[in-house]
Structure 1
Amino acid sequence: MQKYHIPKGGLPPQSQLLTDKAVFTPSYAVLPKGTMRDIVCSHLPFWQGMRMWVLARPLSGFAESFSHYIVELQPTGGSDRPETDMRAEAALFVVGGEIALNVGGRELRLAPGGFGYIPAGTDWSIRNEGDEPASFHWFRKAYVAVEGLDAPAPFFADENRISPIAMPDTDGKWATTRFMDPDDMRHDMHITIVTFEPGAVIPFMETHVMEHGLYVLEGKAVYKLNQDWVEVEAGDYMWLRAFCPQACYAGGPGKFRYLLYKDVNRHMSL
């Protein structure tokens, strides 16, 4: 079973120093795990027993193509109307507890490592029927339809049953767990889990059109973001603007793993 960091909320003591690595720049942002406290939680209409941390949202000078939440759902909590925008597709990734979903009349449960894709315009509901809180990541994006191309269907997966694909010429030290089929042009976003063995690197400064949201699930690393080196660890979040140069060294002693969003497979908006 994989490890997944889960925010704990709460507040630090009055004796704690204010110094932290939180930073917001025109090309990237880093939200350390210490920023995810009780007083910055958000709530939504038509939900019961939930709170969430908003990691990214469409905003001038910030995320342009998506929003990303971490939702904490108490026992018996949930919603029969979780989404109020019929343009929004959803991707859910469970990191703690268990959630019960009804997606278009199909009942299923997702435990840690469980993933679900829900197309725009789909009726769905969610509940925590367990005795402990459940936590999951929720990505939302306005689906970009293409004439002559069908919309994706709902699908569900389990990270623990997917074999990571090694990046070329890395001896398996850098690998990607893919939830969407990269050859399926119906999808306009990919959600993946990237894994680095201790000491592994991104050996060049990636600079590309895809916007990124990265949540560190496990381990630690030093990330090069534009002109800066930033230390990150489990529970930290990074947003990278399109074309922001990026690379990293995995620090060890264990694996460095993060949950990654990127927009794909569509013409550039003009």
Structure 2
Amino acid sequence: MAELKWKEAIEKVLDEEKKSLHYATIAQLIAERGYRKNLGATPKDTVSANLTTDINENKEKSIFAKVERGNYILRKYLDDANLLLTVDEISNKPTSRGNNDATENIFKIINGFGIYWNRSLVHWKTAPDLLGIQQIGASEVNFKEQIGIYLLHDGRETIYVGQAIDQPLGQRLKAHTTDRLSGRWDRFSWFGFYPVNNEGKLHVEIKLKDLTVKSLGDILEAILIESIEPRQNRKQGNLFFGLEYLQQEAPEIKKRLKEQLIKELTDKL
């Protein structure tokens, strides 16, 4: 099957599901069903931008409708007009880079995160790469220059919380491989301030919207929920849906393991 354009792929998924879906779920289904092979680094953001642009440009003639924050449906499947967010409700949300759920994230504090990444999957060179993907099939993003908050874990126990501000995340974590904490952690989590563009680069010139006590509370709650994972409270944090990145193994480690396997096989000959 020929690769579909983003709008066509979005429409096909929503038509098959016949219900409202979050833009992150739509992006995952597009990849799983093979409607697009070239996903870029931020397919979830691309889906969100396509949906909102179509609604803003075509208004009531758009084939898409927004029913709640981040959730969309084909207009022909709307069965309750009260569920529909109007064009004005969408357009009046103040952002300076377009009105869509994904670009709104740029004006929040946390714009990406990774949970319980494995220390052994990182090649700890002088400037270690921290590789992640937004979803299966997406392009890799290197978070070594990310800034934000990080946690070190020993199994399921959090043993240290730190800031990567004056030094980026890669340097801060590298330092913990040789300091007093070096033997005490095997996993790490991070919550980054820089968003990622569709080319897989960090957007370092961020602007932060006005923060309220409630939004700060939401951020702290979400970090705690995502990092500590209380069993009875396993919702994804209020502000973080669609922002998680999945760790990818460093290519140097893949190469080393392959060489080790070849050596073991040849030694048996």
Same fold (TM over 0.5): no
**TM-score, with normalisation over the residues of structure 1?**
0.26
**TM-score, with normalisation over the residues of structure 2?**
0.26
Q: Which has the higher strand share?
A: 1
Q: Which has the higher helix share?
A: 2
Greater relative contact order, per chain length (Cα 8 Å cut-off, separation 6+): 2
Q: Based on CA coordinates, which of the two structures has the bigger radius of gyration?
A: 2
